[in-house]
């Protein structure tokens, strides 16, 4: 099996990946909190882990990929439970909120053509396991009860084990966990964190426990569910790098505190999605929903983009780099994506009878690089750069600058297989833009209508341009005039 190297956030080094059991991989990724619509940042993280999952399968590993659904709310800074907040906002049962946004999340991930995980456990379905883990932590002397809540005793824990290794924080720097500010007085030390919380009377989601009617602490579900489905020690744990502290740091402490074993050997963290150079933020309007990006209905974009174009755009950056979402970047990705899909069609129609070719060495070198770069911490930008070297060759063959007789049959077949494997299986792209013949006709007709509308406006023929606008409105087709071009979308 091809050697695989991954950047391990725990050691802060790129390491050769060695699975615990030869041929098998256990991977846990922190899933979404389902109290509101999934946002593009979440999409980026889950898409990155989907490509990692797909590549591990491609390498021949049998992978058990577990991604949880957080359907127990975490406390917000204001001390209100996110799930209850969502329930109150929409006048729904908390479980209705969770169900609604879980369905929305699945639909969105399907639009981006990602695989389902092998197990998708819910926090509410694992309360018993979480209570057992709290008990184990208490039994081992790393927790204490205070007024019906149970806290992880970081000071006692640090007498026996390191704490803060993943985030690189020293104990004096360990931030007070802002999410349970209101319970500071119950804690022995500011860096202690809740593993069970006593619920107030108006709290919507609560369960019986030996300590109080309450609910598990934020970090506990992932410790309990990863242990249940992957064992005390498994291969890969992933999530966005905003989860390193406190969530993942505390997950490690809980697992060590309960099972005396560090959960994952390799910690992989994706970087954040920015927009126009700034963190996406609802409060200053610097945000766009996936749906707005599909339809183009946002001041941040001049047109709508297909989910595959957005995916291609995101894969042009390494998972550990930030991505700056810009309209220009998306337009460039759209051009690149179309060029790639067109070249693949041309490639599929090529055939040769040569047994040896002068272009073989170069093409095989690029194909080797694709595998090497993907095995070097899943370097999708380098893979895409190599794919474009091959696109240039394919276009050269099409245009007659290169001769197909200079490629041998085995080399051409290898190129076809590698490109198909990486573009469709590993990166999970689909040829969406060329579509089926009916959508091609539709695209052709729409660009004709847009041209007619433009020339009628240029000629001040308002009757024709109004008629086109009204008819398209009736058909619920929306036209958007951008800087350079006019686009259309279905409402
Ligand atoms: P949440 O639903 O907030 O628990 O987040 C689900 C996943 O999305 C976590 O792994 C987060 O780290 C990740 N995530 C949240 N915001 C962003 C962002 N702006 N860019 C990339 N990943 C993010
Ligand atoms: Zn988690």
Q: Say what the pTM is.
A: 0.87
Given this model, what pLDDT does residue 177 score? 46
Indicate the residue among 426, 455, 477 that finishes a domain: 426
Q: How many residues does the chain have?
A: 491
> Poorest-confidence range of 209-218, 230-239, 327-336, 439-448?
439-448
* Number of structural domains the chain divides into: 3
* Ligand 1 center from residue 246 Cα (angstroms): 14
**Which residues constitute the domain of residue 440?**
435-490
CA–CA gap between residue 199 and residue 221 (Å, rounded)? 17
Dihedral sign (CA 127, 129, 134, 138): positive
Q: Considering only residues 35 and 410, tell me which one the structure prediction assigns the higher pLDDT.
A: 410
Same domain, 317 and 369: yes
pLDDT of 78 above 60: no
First to last CA, the chain: 48
Whether residue 246 is preceded by a cis peptide bond, meaning omega within 30 degrees of 0, is yes
Indicate the residue among 393, 426, 459 that finishes a domain: 426
Task: Please check whether residue 270 is in contact with residue 42, taking contact to mean a CB–CB distance below 8 angstroms.
Answer: no
Q: Among the residues of 23-93, which ranges form H helices?
A: 40-58, 82-90
Same domain, 408 and 441: no
CA 38 to ligand 1: nearest atom: 2
Same domain, 396 and 466: no
Task: Please check whether residue 334 is in contact with residue 382, taking contact to mean a CB–CB distance below 8 angstroms.
Answer: no
Same domain, 224 and 316: no
Given this model, what pLDDT does residue 178 score? 44
* Ligand 1 center from residue 156 Cα (angstroms): 31
Angle of helix 40-58 relative to helix 94-111, nearest 10 degrees? Answer: 60
Q: Considering only residues 103 and 72, tell me which one the structure prediction assigns the higher pLDDT.
A: 103
CA–CA gap between residue 158 and residue 92 (Å, rounded)? 43
Which ligand has the nearest atom to the CA of 250?
Answer: 2
Same domain, 439 and 421: no
> What tokens were used for 215?
């609910």
* Ligand 1 center from residue 194 Cα (angstroms): 22
Work out the pLDDT band at 94, boundaries 50, 70, 90.
confident
pLDDT of 175 above 60: no
Q: What are the angstrom distances between the C-alpha of 476 and each of 128, 212, 490?
A: 50, 55, 6
Same domain, 92 and 183: yes
Of 42, 219, 319, the one to substitute when testing ligand 1's pocket (max ligand atoms within 8 A of C-beta) is: 42
Q: What angle do CA 74, 79, 83 make, to 5 degrees?
A: 40
Eight-state DSSP code of residue 401: S
Work out the pLDDT band at 480, boundaries 50, 70, 90.
confident
- Region 322-327: mean pLDDT is 96
Given this model, what pLDDT does residue 446 score? 80
pLDDT of 392 above 60: yes
Q: Could you tell me if residue 251 is inside a domain?
A: yes
Query: Using CA positions, which residue lies closest to atom 12 of ligand 1?
Result: 240
* Ligand 2 center from residue 393 Cα (angstroms): 45
pLDDT of 79 above 70: no
Same domain, 60 and 207: yes
Q: What angle do CA 86, 175, 189 make, to 5 degrees?
A: 100
CA–CA gap between residue 292 and residue 285 (Å, rounded)? 13
The CATH number that applies at residue 263 is 3.40.50.620
CA–CA gap between residue 435 and residue 244 (Å, rounded)? 41
pLDDT of 329 above 60: yes
Work out the pLDDT band at 488, boundaries 50, 70, 90.
confident
Same domain, 481 and 401: no
- Region 67-89: mean pLDDT is 74
Query: Using CA positions, which residue lies closest to atom 8 of ligand 1?
Result: 42
pLDDT of 484 above 70: no
pLDDT of 440 above 70: no
Same domain, 355 and 210: no
Q: What are the angstrom distances between the C-alpha of 186 and each of 75, 79, 105, 136?
A: 16, 15, 36, 21
Work out the pLDDT band at 441, boundaries 50, 70, 90.
low
CA–CA gap between residue 413 and residue 347 (Å, rounded)? 10
- Region 89-97: mean pLDDT is 83
Given this model, what pLDDT does residue 252 score? 98
CA 274 to ligand 1: nearest atom: 19
CA 33 to ligand 1: nearest atom: 2
Which ligand has the nearest atom to the CA of 325?
Answer: 1
CA–CA gap between residue 417 and residue 478 (Å, rounded)? 39
> What tokens were used for 78?
């204001």
* Ligand 1 center from residue 106 Cα (angstroms): 15
Which ligand has the nearest atom to the CA of 30?
Answer: 2
CA 30 to ligand 1: nearest atom: 10
Given this model, what pLDDT does residue 202 score? 83
* Ligand 1 center from residue 240 Cα (angstroms): 5
CA–CA gap between residue 294 and residue 300 (Å, rounded)? 12
Query: Using CA positions, which residue lies closest to atom 16 of ligand 1?
Result: 41
Which ligand has the nearest atom to the CA of 269?
Answer: 1
* Ligand 2 center from residue 353 Cα (angstroms): 54
Residue 300 burial (10 A CB sphere; 0-12, 13-18, 19+)? middle
pLDDT of 171 above 80: no
Same domain, 256 and 167: yes
* Ligand 1 center from residue 41 Cα (angstroms): 6
Eight-state DSSP code of residue 9: T
What percent of the chain is modeled with pLDDT above 70?
92
pLDDT of 180 above 60: no
pLDDT of 173 above 70: no
Q: Could you tell me if residue 158 is inside a domain?
A: yes
Which ligand has the nearest atom to the CA of 39?
Answer: 1
pLDDT of 318 above 70: yes
Query: Using CA positions, which residue lies closest to atom 5 of ligand 1?
Result: 32
Given this model, what pLDDT does residue 45 score? 96
Q: What angle do CA 345, 48, 312 make, to 5 degrees?
A: 30
Q: Could you tell me if residue 359 is inside a domain?
A: yes
Pocket of ligand 1 (CB under 6 A): 30, 32-33, 41-42, 44-45, 239-240, 242-243, 270, 272-273, 280
Same domain, 165 and 127: yes
Indicate the residue among 378, 393, 426 that finishes a domain: 426
- Region 377-406: mean pLDDT is 97
What percent of the chain is modeled with pLDDT above 90?
72
Q: What mean pLDDT is reported for the chain? A: 91
Q: Could you tell me if residue 301 is inside a domain?
A: no
Q: Could you tell me if residue 276 is inside a domain?
A: no
């Amino acid at each position: 099996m091809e050697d695989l190297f991954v950047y391990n956030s725990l050691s802060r080094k790129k390491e050769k990946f060695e699975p615990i059991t030869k041929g098998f991989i256990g991977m846990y990724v922190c899933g979404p909190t389902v109290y509101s619509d999934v946002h593009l940042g979440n999409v980026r993280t889950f898409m990155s882990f989907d490509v990692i999952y797909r590549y591990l399968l491609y390498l021949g590993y049998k992978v058990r990929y577990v991604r949880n659904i957080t359907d127990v709310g975490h406390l917000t800074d204001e001390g209100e439970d996110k799930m209850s907040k969502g329930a109150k906002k929409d006048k729904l049962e908390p479980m209705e909120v969770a169900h609604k946004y879980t369905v929305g999340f699945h639909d969105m991930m399907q639009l981006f053509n990602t695989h389902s995980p092998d197990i998708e456990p819910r926090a509410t379905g694992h309360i018993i396991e979480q209570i057992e883990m709290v008990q184990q932590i208490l039994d081992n002397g790393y927790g204490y009860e205070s007024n019906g809540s149970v806290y992880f005793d970081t000071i006692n824990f640090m007498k026996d084990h390191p704490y803060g290794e993943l985030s690189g924080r020293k104990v004096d720097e360990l931030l007070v966990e802002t999410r349970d500010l209101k319970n500071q007085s119950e804690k022995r030390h500011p860096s202690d964190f809740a593993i069970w919380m006593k619920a107030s009377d108006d709290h919507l989601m609560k369960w019986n426990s030996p300590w109080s009617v309450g609910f598990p602490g934020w970090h506990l579900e992932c410790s309990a569910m990863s242990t249940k489905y992957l064992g005390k020690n498994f291969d890969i744990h992933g999530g966005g790098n905003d989860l390193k502290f406190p969530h993942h740091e505390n997950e490690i402490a809980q697992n060590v505190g309960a099972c005396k074993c560090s959960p994952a050997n390799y910690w992989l963290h994706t970087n954040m999605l920015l927009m126009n150079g700034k963190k996406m933020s609802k409060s200053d309007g610097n945000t766009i929903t996936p749906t707005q990006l599909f339809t183009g209905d946002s001041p941040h974009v001049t047109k709508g983009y297909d989910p595959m174009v957005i995916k291609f755009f995101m894969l042009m950056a390494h998972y550990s780099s930030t991505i700056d979402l810009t309209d220009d970047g998306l337009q460039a990705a759209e051009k690149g994506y179309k060029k790639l899909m067109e070249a693949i069609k041309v490639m599929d129609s090529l055939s040769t009878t040569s047994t040896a070719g002068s272009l073989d060495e170069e093409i095989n070198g690029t194909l080797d690089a694709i595998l090497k770069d993907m095995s070097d911490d899943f370097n999708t930008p380098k893979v895409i750069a190599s794919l474009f070297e091959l696109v240039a060759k394919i276009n050269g063959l099409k245009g007659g600058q290169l001769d197909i007789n200079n490629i041998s049959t085995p080399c051409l077949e290898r190129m076809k297989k590698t490109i198909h494997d990486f573009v469709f299986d590993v990166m999970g792209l689909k040829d969406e833009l060329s579509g089926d013949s009916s959508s091609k006709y539709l695209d052709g007709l729409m660009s004709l209508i847009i041209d007619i509308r433009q020339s009628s406006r240029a000629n001040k023929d308002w009757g024709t341009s109004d008629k086109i606008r009204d008819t398209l409105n009736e058909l619920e087709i929306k036209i958007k005039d951008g800087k350079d071009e006019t686009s259309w979308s279905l409402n």
